[in-house]
Amino acid sequence: MPNDATITMSERAGLRRARGLGSVSAIEAGVRCSHCRGTVPEGLTEEGSEEQFCCHGCRSAYRIIRSCGLDRYYRLRDMEAGGGVFAAPAPAGSGKYRAFDDPAFHALHCREVPGGLMTTDLVLEGIDCSACVWLLERLPSMSRGVVESRLDFRRSTLRVTWDPAAAALSSIAALLGSLGHRPHPARDTQARRVRTLEDRRAMVRLAVAGACAGNAMLFGVALYAGLFDWMDAGHVELMRWSSMAVTLVSLAWPGRVFFTSAWASLRAGTANLDVPIALALAAGGAWSVASTIRGDGEVYFDTLSVLVFLLLVGRFLQRRRQRWASDAVELLFSLTPTSARRVETDARGFQSVHDVAVEALRAGDVIEVRAGDSIPADGVVVSGESRVDRSLLTGESRPLAVAPGAAAAAGDVNIVSALRVRVTAAGEATRVGQLMRMVEECSRRKAPIVRFADRASVFFTYGMITAAGATLAAWLWMEPAHAVENAVALLVVTCPCALGLATPMALTVAIGRAAKLGLLIKGGDVIERLSVPGRVLLDKTGTLTHGRPAVVRWDGDDSIKQAVAALEAGSNHPIAMAMARDLGGEEMVLVRGEQTTGGGIRGRVGQLDVAVGSPAFIRSIGATDPIGYQGRAEAMALNGLTPVLVAVGGVVSAAAGLGDSARADSSRSIRDLERLGWEPWILSGDDPRVALGIGERVGVAPGRVLGGMSPEGKLETVRRFSATGPTVMVGDGVNDAAALAAAGVGVAVHGGAEASLAAADVYINSPGIAGVGHLIEGSRRTMRLIRTILVVSAAYNLTAGSIAAAGLMSPLIAALVMPASSLTVLTICFRSRTFGGGR
């Protein structure tokens, strides 16, 4: 059985990191924060102190945890994650959670429980390890008034029971916020309630089928023992009637799903896999009941009830696996606000702001969004200027400037100052709401191979009926007494158990293994589509490249690199940081640096007077240019690079070109893709020359590099390619969501996981395209495995069917062979290497 806990952990960690909920990206060195393990900015380190904090939020979270005697949290966390970075708490604004005390909020989200207590479900951000479970379930010892807290890890939902007389919910919410787990009221959507009930029913069916199978097997063993030894006729009767009783329960209760599904499919004029299953169950059941009543003939009760149980186990596991994508997006929906501040104008023209539930918002309403709040609906900014954080939807971590006329989406966080927004869509009509519905629909999609199994089942059904009919006819002619018996034995023994169990199981196991490698695959159909080679379209920025500037060309004396790096190390401009990182080596002492706003920096490094900056800056300080570096800088600019000139002692002596550099592993990954038979293409929104340059570096033929593509252009290209063959689009999910969705398989690399998952079929939680090769290789192995299994089960059915047709199949042999075939198939599933097998 796949280890679900482990799968969930890696999935969750991936989602969290990608969502960037307060967490910091890769950390190389430096002083680590005592709370979140992120790097402490240089100005904030405290000399000689053992406790270091990167921000005020971390400091207060650390204090709370320490003062409640819960320091073990840190040890647990480090043990589990081995040094990752954790959610940094957002500083809690005073009164930020005031809405949690509103009677309307209580009426909507809270329930009274006996003893004068209240209970509510809160969706928390940043839940990613066991230590979180440990800490949050100890909430009663941190906050007076909290009686109980239980965390549902998979859904990131904390059920809090508290005493309203001793504490306000807002204070509990503020405490959670200052621990780094910002609470949001859980939206108990209709869809989730329905799913929970379905899950319970599936669990109950599984349990009943298991109990019946176990008991029927006990009776069966007694009967088989009686075959070899003497058994009292009365005892035989007792065993047969008892096993009939439990098997009828199994067929009528959990087994009913096969009959209803088969009936529905027959009425629709097709035959799914449930038809042959139902046929075998019905024929075997009817014959066995008749034999029991007559007191003569074979019974197959144990085989039938084990069959029902095994088939249900397969379906149950498959169902659980499909859950996570919809859970992740539902979580996203819960993170959008539940209340809005609507601006209302009264008859005299006075404007006032009222708190209303989001459900009450209509298109055309104007709402006010304060700094620090999330935007509750999709809309257009009508007044105010600010910056918004879109990471929830797009994964873009840089805040975006917005001004009147700009679009805003539900879930965006307003950072700087208040905005007024005219609502264009609210509730489930928002982008987040639509994403949710899309993921829900996609998870119901059936893999073609499963559909193939469904198609095969039509032939299977005909084959079974024909074979049974032929057996019946042949035996009626030769020996009429055994005719019906042998036909029934054939039907029971060729029941496509292995077929029905194996395909979904192989896909389930493969998807689970992939998740452990950080490849989150939305459905089994993706695996099948990835197994036939075609074209891979790779986005450039952030996928093949780092997505940040780096020094890609250096024209000039290498000996001054050190000095430039030393000078630039003092600046926090992105270009300066890139130069300091890429040119630096040993430390050089900077004597005096002076940054000017004109696009450059000048200072003394050791004995040298160094100036670094844009060509205009270097010109403005009056540096002479005997070698003509200004001209080279212009050439670099034409090639899509950002030119930077260096003047030493008033003479221009080097030119550097900054651009987005290719990832170190990109060219190897591209070769891997070619080895697997795929044809790599580059699609880039950047200047064609830049795209060509990158293509050359990573080894993609110039004819397959398409630069200067708009998002619409990408979409068009993907559509055109998809029409002629298998097409995989790989992007970071930020601005190519449409192309990802249109491709045969969309692979999102390292963007916002939830948003990417809605558009893409696969989400890879590590940067770069190395994962794409693993994905394709694993998919190919999985499909080979499935074909093997199909062949094995077909061979089994042929053999067992011939034995039954020859009249040699006894219930004992059927009872041994049926589970043996299922076990063979399951062993093949779990033992074979699919994802991660090559390393």
Residues 6 or more apart whose CB falls under 8 angstroms from that of 465 comprise 279
Smallest distance, other proteins to C-beta of residue 315, A? 16
Residue with tokens 């299953």, as numbered in its chain: 277
Q: Is 319 or 431 the residue whose CB approaches other proteins more closely?
A: 319
Q: Is 5 or 478 the residue whose CB approaches other proteins more closely?
A: 5
d(Cα 600, Cα 581) in Å, to the nearest integer?
Answer: 17
Q: Is 69 or 677 the residue whose CB approaches other proteins more closely?
A: 69
Q: Mask of contacts with other proteins, 243-282, x by CB under 8 A? A: --xx------------------------------------
Task: Tell me the two tokens of residue 427.
Answer: 């509730």
Which segment (127-135, 305-313, 559-567, 572-580) binds other proteins by CB under 8 A? 127-135
Smallest distance, other proteins to C-beta of residue 775, A? 25
Q: Smallest Cα–Cα separation from 118: which of 149, 94, 155?
A: 149
Smallest distance, other proteins to C-beta of residue 151, A? 6
**Of positions 30, 153, 261, 446, contacts other proteins by CB under 8 A:** 153
**Where does residue 149 rank: exposed (0-12), middle (13-18), buried (19+ CB within 10 A)?**
buried
Q: Is 225 or 238 the residue whose CB approaches other proteins more closely?
A: 238
Query: Alpha-carbon dihedral of residues 92, 96, 97, 103, nearest 10 degrees?
Result: 170
**Of positions 55, 76, 408, 611, contacts other proteins by CB under 8 A:** 76
Smallest distance, other proteins to C-beta of residue 204, A? 5
CB atoms within 10 A of CB 185: 21
Residues 547, 737 contacting (CB under 8 angstroms): no
**Of positions 48, 234, 405, 626, contacts other proteins by CB under 8 A:** 234
Per CB under 8 A, 231 contacts other proteins = no
Q: Is 323 or 387 the residue whose CB approaches other proteins more closely?
A: 323
Smallest distance, other proteins to C-beta of residue 132, A? 9
Per CB under 8 A, 232 contacts other proteins = yes
Smallest distance, other proteins to C-beta of residue 137, A? 7
Residues 777, 838 contacting (CB under 8 angstroms): yes
Task: Tell me the two tokens of residue 563.
Answer: 């000095």
Per CB under 8 A, 81 contacts other proteins = no
Per CB under 8 A, 68 contacts other proteins = no
Q: Smallest Cα–Cα separation from 772: which of 517, 580, 576?
A: 517
Q: Is 99 or 133 the residue whose CB approaches other proteins more closely?
A: 133
Residues 774, 673 contacting (CB under 8 angstroms): no
Residues that contact other proteins, how many (by CB under 8 A)? 38
Task: Tell me the two tokens of residue 61.
Answer: 């979270």
Task: Tell me the two tokens of residue 138.
Answer: 């100890």
d(Cα 339, Cα 225) in Å, to the nearest integer?
Answer: 69
Q: Is 132 or 739 the residue whose CB approaches other proteins more closely?
A: 132
Q: Mask of contacts with other proteins, 14-53, x by CB under 8 A? A: ----------------------------------------
Q: Is 237 or 712 the residue whose CB approaches other proteins more closely?
A: 237
d(Cα 535, Cα 721) in Å, to the nearest integer?
Answer: 8
d(Cα 774, Cα 516) in Å, to the nearest integer?
Answer: 12
Smallest distance, other proteins to C-beta of residue 250, A? 11
Per CB under 8 A, 152 contacts other proteins = yes
- DSSP state for residue 99 in the 8-state scheme: G
Smallest distance, other proteins to C-beta of residue 304, A? 17
Q: Is 235 or 370 the residue whose CB approaches other proteins more closely?
A: 235
Q: Give the H/E segment covering residue 715.
A: helix 711-724
Smallest distance, other proteins to C-beta of residue 439, A? 19
Q: Could you tell me the sign of the dihedral formed by the alpha carbons of 539, 540, 541, 544, in that order?
A: positive
- Residue 149 pairs in a beta bridge with 160
What length is written for the chain? Answer: 839
Per CB under 8 A, 224 contacts other proteins = no
Per CB under 8 A, 111 contacts other proteins = no
**Of positions 45, 242, 595, 620, contacts other proteins by CB under 8 A:** 242
Task: Tell me the two tokens of residue 238.
Answer: 């007792």
Judged by CB under 8 A, the chain residues 281 through 320 that form the site for other proteins are 320
Smallest distance, other proteins to C-beta of residue 7, A? 10
d(Cα 780, Cα 788) in Å, to the nearest integer?
Answer: 12
Smallest distance, other proteins to C-beta of residue 4, A? 7
Per CB under 8 A, 138 contacts other proteins = yes
Q: Are strands 727-731 and 535-539 parallel, antiparallel or unpaired?
A: parallel
Per CB under 8 A, 235 contacts other proteins = yes
Q: Mask of contacts with other proteins, 183-222, x by CB under 8 A? A: -------------x--xx--xx--xx--x--xx-------
Per CB under 8 A, 130 contacts other proteins = yes
CB atoms within 10 A of CB 796: 22
**Where does residue 294 rank: exposed (0-12), middle (13-18), buried (19+ CB within 10 A)?**
exposed
d(Cα 768, Cα 766) in Å, to the nearest integer?
Answer: 7
Per CB under 8 A, 506 contacts other proteins = no
Q: Is 218 or 794 the residue whose CB approaches other proteins more closely?
A: 218
Smallest distance, other proteins to C-beta of residue 156, A? 10
**Of positions 16, 37, 154, 240, contacts other proteins by CB under 8 A:** 154
**Of positions 15, 117, 151, 410, contacts other proteins by CB under 8 A:** 151
Q: Is 157 or 503 the residue whose CB approaches other proteins more closely?
A: 157
CB atoms within 10 A of CB 25: 11
Per CB under 8 A, 225 contacts other proteins = no
Residues 447, 528 contacting (CB under 8 angstroms): yes
Q: Is 152 or 679 the residue whose CB approaches other proteins more closely?
A: 152
Which segment (161-169, 228-236, 335-343, 756-764) binds other proteins by CB under 8 A? 228-236
Smallest distance, other proteins to C-beta of residue 60, A? 24
Residues 6 or more apart whose CB falls under 8 angstroms from that of 371 comprise 386, 414, 415, 416, 417, 418
Task: Tell me the two tokens of residue 167.
Answer: 């504490």
Which segment (231-239, 548-556, 650-658, 662-670) binds other proteins by CB under 8 A? 231-239
Q: Is 213 or 283 the residue whose CB approaches other proteins more closely?
A: 213
d(Cα 19, Cα 735) in Å, to the nearest integer?
Answer: 16
Residues 372, 417 contacting (CB under 8 angstroms): no
Q: Is 9 or 576 the residue whose CB approaches other proteins more closely?
A: 9
Residues 541, 579 contacting (CB under 8 angstroms): no
Task: Tell me the two tokens of residue 753.
Answer: 């996981």
**Where does residue 233 rank: exposed (0-12), middle (13-18), buried (19+ CB within 10 A)?**
exposed
Q: Smallest Cα–Cα separation from 543: which of 714, 406, 372, 422?
A: 714
Per CB under 8 A, 4 contacts other proteins = yes
Task: Tell me the two tokens of residue 139.
Answer: 């909430």
Residues at the interface with other proteins (CB under 8 A): 4-5, 8-9, 72, 76, 129-131, 133-134, 137-138, 150-155, 196, 199-200, 203-204, 207-208, 211, 214-215, 232, 234-235, 238-239, 242, 245-246, 320
